[in-house]
Structure 1
Amino acid sequence: MAGRAGKASSEDDYEIVEPRASSMLEALRAVGYSVQTALADLIDNSITAGARNVWLTFHWNGADSYITLRDDGRGMSEAELADAMRPGNRSPLDEREPNDLGRFGLGLKTASFSQARRLTVASIKAGHERTVRRWDLDYVGRTGQWRLLKAEARSSASRISALGDQTHGTLVLWEQMDRIVGKAHKDDVQAQNRFLALARSVGRHLGMVFHRYLEAEDGKSPLRIYLNGTKTDSLVHPWDPFCSTHVATDSFPEDVLELQGNRVLVTGYVLPHKDRMKEDEHEAAGGPGGWNAQQGFYVYRERRLLVAGGWLNLGYANEEHYKLARLRVDIPNSTDADWDIDVKKSRARPPAVLEERLRELADTVRKRAREVFVHRGARGHSPGTVAIEDAWYSVTTRGRLGYRIRRDHPLVKFVMDRQGADSKPLNALLRLLEETVPVQRIWLDAAEKPEAHAAAFESDPPAKVVEVLEELFKALRAAGETADSARQRILTMSPFDQYTKFVNALGTRRH
């Protein structure tokens, strides 16, 4: 044993194995960014640098097209820029300032490499000269070394010149965008149209992800993102997933969840029914993914949206009758590991300790959303007024769901009473209707064409609505209601709550 006394420990016996530069950088291209998520990652850096304005421009020139993103943030010195261009320049375990939207120290590089083979960054910090650094994947491939170039390519000089008028700020330039434009010719109109359509799609995505920055939340001055221009008409508009300023939106009290000494804030919203919104409002509220896709949780990290809809694998599915349910979850960046935030900052998974409470909150919001969906956003009724229940109701018999017509509904009862002794034909008709409800047809239509169903009486002239109202009014009066109470009760029933003028006129006409 004595002969081994001088042997080095296993931790002292090593060799340096650096990753092959070209292989590593090419591998970073496969992280899985879309153009939308990649550009959002760049804007995270602008916000962290204190920028108040961001100018994003898509320049079309066929295969030589390029994208620039310029901000008026603090900018970087030469040493700071060189470090920022280093892949993995910060550990995800590092403690960050509350307004720092970074995480892995990879965002600028991986986001850019995912779309472009040449990344150039120019920056000016107050009191410093402009500095430039450039990654060129083809050059790295030829040299086989981690060579970060200290100047822009000769052909790129004019493309970063816009930064020259600023005293501080940063400009990111994407060139050789093989995954966006490929080898397209500059005269290829279809390719150009796709490029411009992509720009519009990016604008919608940024308006969603950064809407709380664009809205001047909490008294802070708003961030301005300009897309393909420098004037007001080029501004990216915020998209509020919760329609929080709409008079018909239901919001729940904020719930505070504790997570290892950190606060996670959850607020539920039930959006207005289509019948309570203008057509353009309803279309806008559907969001980039459409109504069904946008239901569920919205997870924000320092006011920046990470997850836009979905139910966080908590056991729910996206369903038509829950599409009005949305919940806002605010997490601090100190809980990144707990929420399993990914490199692209487009995924979050709730910690197991919070799952039960999140389900409880989701159940509450979903229940209310279903009520609003079923009752088409009907308004409440006057205190003391007995509401008229829907003519249809569901029943479960031996575990099977079915639908029945209320025999005690005022109008149904009124018609049945007038049948006299022979009520068998009417009862047979009601049973036939109950047993032949085309449930599967309705379900398929709702799934395939969720917005195609007409609202009640949507295509009928006012006279047809009045005919039904008058018969219902007669039924209530025959049951002993006063004219005023009959009118009040009718206003509790959907869809007649939308026809206040006609209801208030009931019983006032002289024949």
Structure 2
Amino acid sequence: MSDDYDIASPGATELFESLRAFGYDLPTALADIIDNSITARARNVWIDMHWAGPQSRIMIRDDGRGMTEDALRQAMKPGSLSPLADRPKDDLGRFGLGMKTASISQCRCLTVLSRTDRSAAVLRRWDLDYIASTGTGEWRLLKRPDLLSPEDHARLDCHKSGTILFWDRLGALVGSAPADDETAQRHFRERADAVKHHLAMVFHRFLKGRGAVTIHMNGRPIEPWDPFLEDIDFTEPLSAETLIADGERAEIKPFVLPHHSRLTADQHAAAAGPKGWNAHQGFYIYRNRRLLVAGDWLGLGMQKEEHFKLARIRIDLPNSADLLWQIDVKKSRARPPAALRLDLQRIARTTRNRASSIYRHRGKIIQRQLGDREAFLWTHLTKHGKSYYRINRDHPLVRKVLEVAEERAPIRALFSLIEQTIPAPLIVINNAETPDAFGQPFDGAPAELRAAMKAVFDAMVEDGRDRAEAARALLLMEPFSSWPEVVTAFLDEVAREAAKSSR
């Protein structure tokens, strides 16, 4: 005992329960674990989420370097490395907390089994319920080999080296739901899907190219999600810049994504990302190629708005910039230093202006190519400063309906009724609250799409239009312009039928 100080060691139970409240959800927790696998030079990571009610389990296995007994014991300590310590340039960690806090945020029993190519497998376990039951407050890190079954030990046998994390007692995800609880099981599967989408986004730069890592989710490899559509011809990269603050470099690369008319329906749906087009506009902050922030205007005084949704800006940081950019323990938040805010605002405004220009004017280009007369089913009118929408009477199908109808008055009355009762206020409110919740025309209805396509095509041909000209018009006409692959298949079929009839 000293007269100068007291030893004030935190109680293990109390501190662990506090660490569980760091704010991880399942996707961010698993991403934190995969950081360790990539840093350990793993080429494969396997995530298996097994539903069994209260006995449900998540296993994360990799074929990385693995750990010796001393290394595993150190890695299991909360705060195993100071955030101020120098790290290798490719290290994805920082605080020495990730594996522990991420794991216990989701489970009450964390077991780690690891082996290197020169040492036997070793095991350590944090069991929060066991620690609480002792009543001593001691940091009892369990290590008996029989804590895992022979089957669990055998999971590492196929690797010369590697590590497995076992998450048991998944209170946050499963609770006490029995194995036959279909609602809980469905929630479990939905969270697995959320994990897949999150990892595809966070690690997309590791999932392709030379030396790529493969992340397997319940046996299937995860495909990368590139927010910048760099493989699409119509994506417009803007000038890159290097900004420096306190000696730390930040590489900035803006992108303006293509207007939806330049994308197939599948490309457009994929590019929306896990949260939708509007939510994913803004800056994307990467640390050692690992995504931290996915679409945010970083408190620079800019709002997410529909006409800026094509603007996405990449920021690449080294791991030495963590403190400068205020990167948090979960590696899901970052804030730019004050010295860079004006430059980032300038870059953001330039990118947003270009994105807005593409968004607003691409529709007008389509109209000019086809002609205002029949480009869209709806026409926009302004009268006494107020906006109105009218069914386009020159649209080929509308014109045909009016021409063949024996009594036009009821049809004209129906058109007028539809036009006068458009729920514009409700549409505006819904678009403001959930802008990405609106479905695309004919999404999930291929038969209806083809029927409408055929009706419009037939109407143009019956009106005296050359079939080739009608085909070109169909490719440019909304909403068919959003489904070019379907239009092309339809026109190929029409061409084959025409060839048969001419024989």
Class of the TM-score when normalised by the shorter of the 2 chains: 0.7 to 0.9
How far apart, CA to CA, are the structure 1 residues paired with 2:273 and 2:78? Answer: 34
1:265 partner amino acid? E
Aligned match of 2:278: 292
Unaligned runs of 5+ in 1: 1-10, 381-387, 395-400, 405-436, 471-492, 500-511
1:320 partner amino acid? E
Map residues 48-127 of structure 1 onto 2, 5 A cutoff: 48-127=39-118
CA contact (8 A) 1:274 1:376 kept: no
User: What SS does the corresponding residue of 1:225 show, helix, strand or coil?
Assistant: strand
* Pair 1:200-2:193 in alignment: yes
Map residues 37-52 of structure 1 onto 2, 5 A cutoff: 37-52=28-43
1:132 to partner: Cα distance: 0.6
The superposition leaves residues 29-80 of structure 1 with CA deviations (integer Å, 9 ceiling, x where unpaired) of 0001000000000000000111111111011211011111110111111000
CA contact (8 A) 1:90 1:105 kept: yes
1:167 partner amino acid? K
Aligned match of 2:184: 191
User: What SS does the corresponding residue of 1:306 show, helix, strand or coil?
Assistant: strand
2:212 partner amino acid? P
Map residues 349-364 of structure 1 onto 2, 5 A cutoff: 349-364=335-350
Aligned match of 1:178: 171
Q: Which of the pair has more CA radius of gyration?
A: 1
How far apart, CA to CA, are the structure 1 residues paired with 2:363 and 2:22? Answer: 43
The superposition leaves residues 77-133 of structure 1 with CA deviations (integer Å, 9 ceiling, x where unpaired) of 100000000000111111111110001000000000101011000111111111111
How far apart, CA to CA, are the structure 2 residues paired with 1:393 and 1:494? Answer: 20
Map residues 339-378 of structure 1 onto 2, 5 A cutoff: 339-376=325-362
* Pair 1:27-2:13 in alignment: no
- Using the size of structure 2 for normalisation, the TM-score is 0.76
1:461 partner amino acid? V
Aligned match of 1:165: 158
2:95 partner amino acid? F
* Pair 1:241-2:227 in alignment: yes
Aligned match of 2:258: 272
1:213 partner amino acid? F
1:92 partner amino acid? P
* Pair 1:228-2:218 in alignment: yes
User: What SS does the corresponding residue of 2:165 show, helix, strand or coil?
Assistant: strand
Instruction: Decide whether aligned partners of structure 1 residues 153 and 373 sit closer, same or farther in structure 2, where only a CA change above 3 A counts.
Output: farther
How far apart, CA to CA, are the structure 2 residues paired with 1:60 and 1:392? Answer: 53
CA contact (8 A) 2:306 2:435 kept: no
1:227 to partner: Cα distance: 1.0
CA contact (8 A) 1:270 1:325 kept: yes
Identity %: 47
Unaligned runs of 5+ in 2: 367-371, 373-378, 389-421, 443-451, 466-475, 485-503
User: What SS does the corresponding residue of 1:376 show, helix, strand or coil?
Assistant: helix
* CA RMSD after TM alignment: 3.7
1:452 to partner: Cα distance: 5.4
* Pair 1:147-2:137 in alignment: no
1:154 to partner: Cα distance: 3.8
CA contact (8 A) 1:446 1:453 kept: no
How far apart, CA to CA, are the structure 1 residues paired with 2:244 and 2:387? Answer: 44
CA contact (8 A) 2:380 2:387 kept: yes
User: What SS does the corresponding residue of 1:184 show, helix, strand or coil?
Assistant: coil
1:378 to partner: Cα distance: 6.8
How far apart, CA to CA, are the structure 1 residues paired with 2:320 and 2:332? Answer: 17
Aligned match of 2:405: none
- Using the size of structure 1 for normalisation, the TM-score is 0.74
CA contact (8 A) 1:268 1:326 kept: yes
2:205 partner amino acid? R
Q: Does 102-111 or 150-159 show the bigger shift?
A: 150-159
2:293 counterpart (281, 284, 307): 307
CA contact (8 A) 1:372 1:378 kept: no
1:283 to partner: Cα distance: 0.6
1:316 counterpart (302, 315, 340): 302
1:271 partner amino acid? L
1:377 to partner: Cα distance: 6.3
User: What SS does the corresponding residue of 1:226 show, helix, strand or coil?
Assistant: strand
User: What SS does the corresponding residue of 1:42 show, helix, strand or coil?
Assistant: helix
Q: How many residues align?
A: 423
How far apart, CA to CA, are the structure 2 residues paired with 1:194 and 1:495? Answer: 38
CA contact (8 A) 2:201 2:224 kept: yes
User: What SS does the corresponding residue of 2:215 show, helix, strand or coil?
Assistant: strand
